[in-house]
Structure 1
């Protein structure tokens, strides 16, 4: 994900879209570092919480990246990526029996859900509120 956001940030011509993709690249790198530093002890202490789901992305169609992408479309791309990540980890969680792996996957679901919430809130505040 970090690599994709990096590429999108480099290609985006609109300043607000460029900044958003660069911020998500940094966040994905930070997540990788967190995951790499997790020990069995730390995983055992994870207490996943369910994030609020505004479900805005549920009603939006997938967008294709293009260099002159508008901020609204960039938000939609990012929301849809997070939505798909949550679904992927949720599907994986249903196939895993190991309690430690389940906790780690629940943590990932929580992280991706929080990203999606942040994006949906941004979309609601700055796009939908202007309609």
Structure 2
């Protein structure tokens, strides 16, 4: 494992959150389905909240207070492991958009889990674990929406 400072890790996380926001906004701009657009817009706003938390941590040098009240218990429905569309198009189904979003959130969860491993035994580990939980929460929320849509259609 290569060494990385906490500041560098936070800067990487900030960059990841900015890229996630841009991804969701590009997806939002190309979609036609209003329901899918609303879901994607909400996900983009969550990425903004993450960016703000990380920016505050970088600015103050303090991470111990961020997200410490967060508690979430859930299980992965496994939907994000389904085959994804190869190309994003403006006429994609809501299900395809949701599957892409789930996979994106799951990748973010893994990113934060790896950072938590790098900072094992420190306050930073707890912060990155909480960020991983945030991403898993988003993925699970999307999975539940997906499940509701598929269930209602069948």
How far residue 127 of structure 1 moved from its aligned partner, in angstroms, is: 1.3
| Unmatched tracts of structure 2, length 5 or more | 1-19
Q: Report the number of matched residues.
A: 129
How far residue 22 of structure 1 moved from its aligned partner, in angstroms, is: 1.4
Residue in 1 aligned with 2:133?
110
Q: Is the 8 A contact 1:82 1:113 kept in 2?
A: yes
Alignment partner of 1:97: what SS? coil
Q: Which 4+ runs in 1 deviate beyond 4 A? A: 47-50
How far residue 67 of structure 1 moved from its aligned partner, in angstroms, is: 1.2
TM-score scaled to structure 1, two decimals? Answer: 0.85
Residue in 2 aligned with 1:10?
29
* Aligned CA distance change for structure 1 residues 22 and 128 (closer, same or farther; 3 Å): same
Residue in 1 aligned with 2:13?
none
Whether 1:31 aligns to 2:50 is yes
Whether 1:61 aligns to 2:83 is yes
Q: Distance in 1 between matches of 2:29 and 2:46?
A: 16
| Unmatched tracts of structure 1, length 5 or more | none
How far residue 107 of structure 1 moved from its aligned partner, in angstroms, is: 1.1
Q: Aligned-residue CA RMSD in angstroms?
A: 2.0
Q: Is the 8 A contact 1:13 1:68 kept in 2?
A: yes
How far residue 129 of structure 1 moved from its aligned partner, in angstroms, is: 4.4
